[in-house]
Amino acid sequence: MSSYTPPLRDMQFVLHELLKVTDEFKGMPKHADLDVDTINAVIEEGGKFAAAELFPINASGDKEGCTLDLATHSVKTPTGWKEAYAKYVEGGWPSLSGAPELGGQGLPIVVNQCFYEMLNSANQAWTMYPGLAHGAHAAIEAHGTEAQKTMYLPKITSGEWLGTMCLTESHCGTDLGLLRTKAEPQADGSHLITGSKIFISGGDNDFASNIVHLVLARLPDAPAGSKGISLFLVPKFLVNADGSLGARNPIFVTGIEHKMGINGSATCQISIDGARGWMVGQANKGLAAMFVMMNAARIGVGMQGLGLTEVAYQNALAYAKDRIQSRSLTGPKDLSKPADSIMVHPDVRKMLLTAKAYAEGGRALALYCSLLIDKEHHHPDTEVRAESAELVALLTPIVKAFLTDNGHIATNACMQVFGGHGFIKEWGMEQYVRDNRINMIYEGTNTVQSLDLLGRKILGNNGESLKKFGKKIALLVSEVNDDEAISDDMQEFIAPLTELGTKMTAFTTELGFKAFSNANEVGAASVDYLRVAGHLVFGYFFASMAQISLKAIAEGRGDKFYQGKLQTARFYFAKLFPETLTCMATARSGAAALMDTDAVFA
């Protein structure tokens, strides 16, 4: 009963009016000739694929789930999913941002991320299979040998082969230093890998002819802890010298997890019984190599939260417009009907606007980060590349945690709009709530992301990266104040943003001093701190989008889109941005109320 329409107009607004991507591409020789029409055409066709091929099999895939044949250790995905993947490959979608020398189309990451937002809205569980291949590709490209790149990357680029990352073991999740999987060196330079892994997304499927597992394991002489972890490429089928598939490698699925959501995504238990693998990168430096894939996955998970926020909002809005129930508090609005649409109720509008604001703010941030990745990889200026990489590192935990936390808030709010119908499967809303819930957990829980942001990305370099983002805010404020036509109207956005920017410096310094005497202060404050940082970043983008909209309105452009964008920005600053005050207060309250509680748990 649900539906999905790709948000092409807002994507085009973010790409071309907010980020001005084609101007940015002119500074990157690889993308210098890419124009607005080409970008829009690609995104439009991508939206058609998502809406026509993936959305119709989302609910059925959730109901059917995956099945495992224990005799063959093979996974069967839900009905229609294999066929959809074949169309995905036939359409050239896996290679969209792949390097031309590997058979890719060479389009920017930012264009590919627009496509992936729509895939996630249409069917997050299906999208996880090809999404993981991008991360595997990035890790091999960054750390693999030339022979590994030649053998594996073209097949991953085309979509013929898929990938996984095999990290987690039953006794250790985030603390990978505890892992026990072993790697025994062989005379031919390969290794025999033995161990077991759990929670492996896409551990097997019936989409691709081969799966490239990237497995963390220990060499016999490896030091203890995270300093003794190496990364290995372990294919499902061994690959012959001519690129053809050889013998089955003994890396087998032994079980599929029965989950709360993303049921069409095969989350596998894997047994590795002397499987042959090849080291990627240096010995005992596996985490550094794997982090290429993990960071890509973290941004990808943020896109999952964004995708579900968007599709939940669309369906809640459509329902609210049609559902009549009771009358407006200020008197009947539609006397032709026995009741008014629930759109007349302030709290229904608050729930809808919350989802809309979190979708639009998340889209701006996610695409900005994607553009930074393009600049990091392809800009000829080394300083631009370095600064882009630094900002991506700063913003990645915010993309992962803030967008998925917001997705949790938004999908629950949208389900609430439906009232009792939202709790019923036929309407589709409860699936969005269930599917999004994992996004706050995997690829490093959102608490881990918060610790990474405050402990490593902020305090780790004395706030230098944050100051660089602060310069962007200062530049926006200066532009607004110099523009007499809109400066007065912009104050409702600029004033609270400037105030938070000023407070952020003292807030961060205060937490840093507390951390010197007690590291638990970072743990106690980090989740609240990330919420504040997320709103600071969203505030910058909403103020920028309001600036663009006010100018468009002042120029007489009659597109109602700009009025809607302006009203969303007003709602965001009035109703969501003030969360920063509470979060700063709770962060400052310290660790004692959490840690001096032994009597509570006695």
Tokens of 576: 């969501």
Dihedral angle at the C-alpha atoms of 87, 88, 89, 93, nearest 10 degrees? 140
b/e code 129-155 from CB counts within 10 Å (16+ = b) = bbbbbbbbbbbbbebbeeebbebbbbb
* 92-122 pLDDT tens trace: 999 999 999 999 999 999 999 999 999 999 9
The reported pLDDT for the residue numbered 352 is 98
In a domain, 516, yes or no: yes
Q: Are strands 210-217 and 267-280 parallel, antiparallel or unpaired?
A: unpaired
* 65-97 pLDDT tens trace: 999 999 999 999 999 999 999 999 999 999 999
In a domain, 428, yes or no: no
Q: Are residues 241 and 134 in the same domain?
A: no
Residues 6+ apart with CB under 8 A from 120: 127, 303, 304, 306, 307, 308
Taking each helix axis as running N to C, give the angle between helix 560-571 and helix 520-554, from 0 to 180 degrees, rounded to the nearest 10.
150
| CATH number where 127 lies | 1.10.540.10
Quick one: residue 418, left, alpha or beta (phi over 0 = left, psi -120 to 50 = alpha)? alpha
Q: How far apart are CA 192 and CA 238, in angstroms?
A: 13
| CATH number where 213 lies | 2.40.110.20
In a domain, 339, yes or no: no
Q: Are residues 129 and 172 in the same domain?
A: no
With beta carbons less than 8 A apart as the criterion, state whether 210 and 155 touch. Answer: yes
With beta carbons less than 8 A apart as the criterion, state whether 310 and 121 touch. Answer: yes
The reported pLDDT for the residue numbered 135 is 86
* 421-472 pLDDT tens trace: 999 999 999 999 999 999 999 988 999 999 999 999 999 999 999 999 999 9
Q: Are residues 138 and 165 in the same domain?
A: no
Q: How far apart are CA 200 and CA 187, in angstroms?
A: 30
Nearest to 402 by CA among 448, 346, 440, 456: 440
User: What is the average pLDDT across 25-39?
Assistant: 97
Measured CA to CA in angstroms, residue 381 lies from 27, 97, 387 at distances of: 9, 21, 10
- Domain holding 184, by residue range, is 161-285
Q: Is 162 helix (H, G, I), strand (E, B) or coil?
A: strand
Q: How far apart are CA 231 and CA 116, in angstroms?
A: 27
Q: How far apart are CA 447 and CA 401, in angstroms?
A: 8
Q: Are residues 177 and 280 in the same domain?
A: yes
Q: Which amino acid is at 90?
A: E
Mean pLDDT of the chain: 95
Nearest to 212 by CA among 222, 198, 199, 200: 200
The reported pLDDT for the residue numbered 175 is 78
Q: State which H helix or E strand residue 173 sits in.
A: none
The reported pLDDT for the residue numbered 269 is 97
Nearest to 183 by CA among 288, 292, 278, 248: 278
Q: Which amino acid is at 539?
A: G
* 285-295 pLDDT tens trace: 988 888 777 77
Q: Are residues 179 and 273 in the same domain?
A: yes
Indicate the residue among 285, 313, 336 that finishes a domain. 285
Phi, psi of 488 (to 5 degrees): -65, -45
Q: Are residues 492 and 532 in the same domain?
A: yes
Q: What is the largest CA-CA distance in the chain?
A: 85
In a domain, 295, yes or no: no
Q: Are residues 560 and 450 in the same domain?
A: yes
With beta carbons less than 8 A apart as the criterion, state whether 166 and 213 touch. Answer: yes
* 217-235 pLDDT tens trace: 999 999 999 899 999 999 9
The reported pLDDT for the residue numbered 162 is 97
With beta carbons less than 8 A apart as the criterion, state whether 565 and 549 touch. Answer: yes
The reported pLDDT for the residue numbered 172 is 85
Q: How far apart are CA 95 and CA 130, in angstroms?
A: 11
User: What is the average pLDDT across 505-522?
Assistant: 94
Q: Are residues 485 and 592 in the same domain?
A: yes
Indicate the residue among 239, 270, 285 that finishes a domain. 285
Percentage, residues of the chain above pLDDT 70: 100
The reported pLDDT for the residue numbered 557 is 86
Q: Is the pLDDT of residue 200 over 80?
A: yes
Place of tokens 């890998």: 193
User: Annotated catalytic, 443?
Assistant: yes
| CATH number where 464 lies | 1.20.120
Place of tokens 């092409």: 8
Number of structural domains found in the chain: 3
Q: Are residues 60 and 134 in the same domain?
A: yes
The reported pLDDT for the residue numbered 558 is 74
- The angle at the Cα of 337, spanning 335 to 343, to the nearest 5 degrees, equals 90
In a domain, 344, yes or no: no
In a domain, 228, yes or no: yes
Q: Are residues 207 and 139 in the same domain?
A: no
Phi, psi of 106 (to 5 degrees): 75, 20
Cα 315 to the center of its chain, rounded Å: 21
Q: Residue 557: how many CA atoms within 13 Å on its side-chain side? A: 12
The reported pLDDT for the residue numbered 176 is 80
DSSP one-letter code for 249:
P
* 537-577 pLDDT tens trace: 999 999 999 999 999 999 988 789 999 999 999 999 999 99
DSSP one-letter code for 263:
T
The residue count of the chain comes to 602
Q: Are residues 454 and 589 in the same domain?
A: yes
Q: Which amino acid is at 518?
A: N
Q: How far apart are CA 389 and CA 377, in angstroms?
A: 9
In a domain, 303, yes or no: no
Indicate the residue among 143, 176, 199 that finishes a domain. 143
In a domain, 70, yes or no: yes
Q: Are strands 161-166 and 210-217 parallel, antiparallel or unpaired?
A: parallel
Set 53, 141, 430, 443: catalytic member: 443
The reported pLDDT for the residue numbered 476 is 96
SS3 content of the chain, % helix, strand, coil (to 5): 60, 10, 25
The reported pLDDT for the residue numbered 295 is 79
Which residues are paired to 231 by β-bridges?
216, 280
- The angle at the Cα of 23, spanning 20 to 24, to the nearest 5 degrees, equals 85
Which residues are paired to 267 by β-bridges?
201
- C-beta neighbour count of 367 within 10 angstroms: 25
Q: Are residues 87 and 191 in the same domain?
A: no
Instruction: Give the predicted TM-score (pTM) of the model.
Output: 0.96
**Secondary structure (H, E, C), 122-162:** HHHHHHHHHHHHHHHHHHHHHHCCHHHHHHHHHHHHHCCEE
With beta carbons less than 8 A apart as the criterion, state whether 206 and 77 touch. Answer: yes
